[in-house]
């Protein structure tokens, strides 16, 4: 391995990362012990819902060198995913539109992230010789935000997402674990101050206190990870969000500085940035599979996707067409979806009665 000044190598690596389309690059120490007390409290409160995998590999989360032995430094990167600067969520939206979280409207970023991290490793190898490396993109027991925060990529906001002072929070993270002995970056300072906009705007009050999120109430968890019957008291708050939720980010003042994506993978496909609830309700399973190939939306599964749309239709203004379409769908889905179809029909008919 060639001997290069560590500070010069670090600067060169950051330049290469930016050249590959990453919006930022920092070097983190492979140590996340400071995150553990808060995380253990989160688990103890049951805020992780049925994501039991979060209870596993706690030692590896705290000490990344147990996950990848020989790791001396972690190259943390981020990619912006906004295609255009959004309007704040409190601006009234068309109630019949199906709202999908912005990161999920295009291609799944995980492969893009890992592919570019591998390319970065190859470039470094060509410069310094052989070394050990392994790329990750939300794919292992890693405290991604904690590592990135410890090296100055931003601070954890009260909504628990990472915020960058000059770029907001609409970005995804990736890591390259390496055996390189690189100087670590310093943490950034926090700048949320007394602002509580994200807490106040949350439609289901999932941010139970600053920096603590109850997944059992979070629309992102409920519409993506959770496969069961969604509690009735939460359905009205879900509104017309059928996959994920951006509300806590859209209201954040720091996202007035949010940057747009530098790669086309995040561009919306199949009109997912402007599609009606009734149009997407028409998707059969074959259409769903075709239109979500290589998309994060595939993760939720067809039946859960239809469950989410049924809730959106129930929350929409009364329409005879909506009631007819919901009734036509009753024999096409599993019991869980049918529970939500029945509720949606009831909601629609209640609206009709109130308007008469």
pLDDT tens for 176-202 read 999 999 999 999 999 999 999 999 999
Report if residue 100 sits inside a domain: no
Give the confidence band of 2 by pLDDT, cuts at 50, 70, 90.
low
The reply to whether 62 and 143 lie within a common domain is yes
Q: Is the pLDDT of residue 134 over 60?
A: yes
| Cβ pair 280, 313 in contact under 8 A | no
The reply to whether 162 and 300 lie within a common domain is no
Q: Is the pLDDT of residue 149 over 60?
A: yes
The answer to whether residue 247 is catalytic is no
The reply to whether 201 and 218 lie within a common domain is no
Q: Is the pLDDT of residue 207 over 90?
A: yes
Which one from 31, 50, 63, 138 is the annotated catalytic residue? 138
Give the confidence band of 93 by pLDDT, cuts at 50, 70, 90.
low
The reply to whether 241 and 126 lie within a common domain is no
Q: Is the pLDDT of residue 223 over 80?
A: yes
| Predicted pLDDT at 85 | 83
* Ligand-binding site membership of 202 (annotated): yes
The reply to whether 215 and 298 lie within a common domain is yes
- Compute the mean pLDDT over every residue in the chain, rounded to the nearest whole number: 95
Give the confidence band of 353 by pLDDT, cuts at 50, 70, 90.
confident
| Predicted pLDDT at 229 | 98
The DSSP bridge partners found for residue 277 are: none
Report if residue 173 sits inside a domain: yes
| Predicted pLDDT at 139 | 85
Report if residue 99 sits inside a domain: no
- Looking at the structure of the chain, the number of domains it has is 2
The reply to whether 177 and 142 lie within a common domain is yes
The pTM of the full predicted model, rounded to 2 decimals, is 0.94
* Ligand-binding site membership of 61 (annotated): yes
Q: Is the pLDDT of residue 254 over 70?
A: yes
The reply to whether 116 and 26 lie within a common domain is yes
| Cβ pair 220, 308 in contact under 8 A | no
| Cβ pair 210, 197 in contact under 8 A | no
CA distance 146 to 149: 5
The reply to whether 238 and 262 lie within a common domain is no
Domain housing 324: 211-246+267-353
* Ligand-binding site membership of 25 (annotated): no
The reply to whether 234 and 133 lie within a common domain is no
């Amino acid at each position: 391995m060639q001997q290069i000044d560590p500070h010069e190598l670090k600067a060169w690596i950051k330049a290469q990362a930016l050249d590959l389309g990453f919006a930022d690059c920092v070097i983190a120490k492979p140590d996340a012990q400071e995150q553990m007390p808060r995380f253990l409290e989160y688990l103890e409160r049951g805020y992780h819902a049925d994501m039991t995998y979060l209870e596993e590999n706690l030692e590896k989360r705290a000490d990344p060198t147990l996950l990848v032995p020989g790791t001396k430094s972690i190259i943390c990167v981020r990619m912006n995913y906004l295609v255009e600067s959004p309007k704040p969520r409190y601006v009234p939206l068309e109630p019949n539109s199906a709202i999908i979280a912005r990161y999920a409207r295009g291609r799944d970023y995980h492969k893009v992230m890992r592919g570019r991290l591998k390319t970065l490793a190859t470039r470094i190898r060509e410069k310094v010789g052989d070394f050990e490396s392994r790329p990750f993109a939300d794919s292992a027991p890693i405290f991604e935000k904690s590592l990135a925060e410890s090296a100055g990529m931003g601070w954890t906001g009260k909504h628990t997402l990472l915020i960058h002072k000059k770029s907001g929070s609409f970005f995804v993270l990736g890591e390259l674990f390496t055996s390189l002995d690189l100087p670590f970056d310093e943490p950034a300072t926090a700048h949320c101050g007394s602002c509580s906009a994200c807490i106040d705007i949350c439609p289901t009050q999932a941010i139970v206190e600053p920096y603590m999120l109850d997944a059992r109430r979070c629309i992102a968890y409920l519409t993506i990870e959770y496969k069961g019957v969604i509690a009735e008291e939460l359905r009205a708050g879900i509104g017309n969000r059928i996959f994920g939720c951006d509300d806590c980010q859209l209201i954040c003042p720091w996202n007035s500085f949010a940057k747009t994506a530098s790669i086309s993978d995040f561009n919306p496909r199949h009109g997912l940035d402007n599609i009606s609830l009734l149009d997407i309700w028409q998707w059969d399973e074959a259409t769903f599979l075709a239109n979500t190939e290589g998309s994060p939306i595939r993760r939720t599964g067809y039946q859960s996707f239809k469950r989410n749309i049924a809730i959106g239709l129930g929350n929409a203004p009364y329409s005879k067409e909506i009631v007819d379409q919901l009734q036509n769908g009753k024999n096409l889905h599993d019991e869980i979806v049918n529970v939500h179809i029945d509720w949606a029909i009831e909601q629609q008919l209640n609206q009709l009665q109130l308007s008469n």
